[in-house]
Amino acid sequence: MDERGGGGSFVAVRRISQGLDRGSTCHSTSAEVVAGSAAWLGRGLSCVCAQRRESDARPSFDLTASQEECLQRLQNRIDVSYDSSIPEHQEALRALWNAAYPEEELRGLISEQWKEMGWQGKDPSTDFRGGGFISLENLLFFARNFPKSFQDLLRKQEGDRSVWEYPFAVAGVNITFMLIQMLDLEAVKPRTLVGATFLKFLADNESAFDLLYCITFKLMDHQWLTMRASYMDFNTVMKATRRQVEKELLNEDVLRLEELPSYSLLSR
């Protein structure tokens, strides 16, 4: 994951009206994408994660054989960079578009259409440096398993929205990156209690990371609305989201991810 730094740009999405002038294709909102520079994309991804001092004690937690195996499989996924020359990756990207806009034909893997989903430019592959191929897999899992919540977030259908909204797709990559850091998933063994706790869920459900991603994305949007945030508040919202996810994961009464309080925010 050493290539996940990227540049320091962002896109803010300004809501304009209820509908796009696209002939027979109808979407709930239109958007104007504005490029600029801020700290919440690219190198700034790290600012959504808690900062540690080198002197901080870093305990490690022993794992069962099952937990080690599940962690290794997840780490193998995390290590895969998005590669636009790999047919499987191309198909996954097309599948994401089809899940997001089933009534609109994608004109190409490099197209201005991608900006509508909240990518920084016409080539989404440039944005995957922050999360790798797993960030695309996370978005697909969300679209396929919780299509209503996915569409609500994509089209900003719920709540009193800001004039300048967070871009959906790039926010999704941020969430993948944040969860990997929060759960310390690149370590041989977890060095935080929240990371060790998550591996118990992972041993019971191999899709636990993808499911936690969906919960976190929906929670982030809930926090966004509660805080009446605009795009300059994105880091603040992400930090609040991280704190809440950690709190819920460490609740001793929670035995399955479906029992997390924020799971109730999701709709299929």
| Cα–Cα nearest to 118, from 187, 66, 170 | 170
pLDDT at position 58, please?
A: 57
Contact 93, 122 (CB under 8 A): no
- pLDDT tier, 57 (very low <50, low <70, confident <90, very high otherwise): low
Tens digit of pLDDT for each residue in 125-184? 999 876 899 999 999 999 999 999 999 999 998 888 877 889 999 999 999 999 999 999
Contact 245, 216 (CB under 8 A): yes
Mean pLDDT over 204-214 rounds to 97
Higher-confidence position of 44 and 88: 88
Contacts 24+ apart (CB under 8 A), 70-74: 70/199, 70/202, 70/203, 70/206, 71/185, 71/199, 71/202, 73/206, 74/185, 74/202, 74/209
Contact 70, 196 (CB under 8 A): no
pLDDT at position 4, please?
A: 45
Q: Assess whether pLDDT exceeds 70 at residue 40.
A: no
Q: Assess whether pLDDT exceeds 90 at residue 53.
A: no
Q: Assess whether pLDDT exceeds 60 at residue 253.
A: yes
| Adjacency order of strands within the sheet including 164-165 | 31-37, 9-15, 164-165
pLDDT at position 159, please?
A: 82
Mean pLDDT estimate for the chain: 82
Higher-confidence position of 240 and 40: 240
Higher-confidence position of 52 and 262: 262
- pLDDT tier, 248 (very low <50, low <70, confident <90, very high otherwise): very high
* Helices and strands in the chain: count of H runs, count of E runs: 8, 3
Alpha-carbon distance of 186 to 72, in angstroms, equals 9
244 C-beta neighbours (distance < 10 Å), count = 18
Tell me which residue has tokens 């696209």: 22
Q: Assess whether pLDDT exceeds 80 at residue 94.
A: yes
pLDDT at position 193, please?
A: 94
Range of lowest pLDDT (40-44, 101-105, 168-172, 209-213): 40-44
Give me the phi and psi of 224, to 5 degrees please. Answer: -55, -45
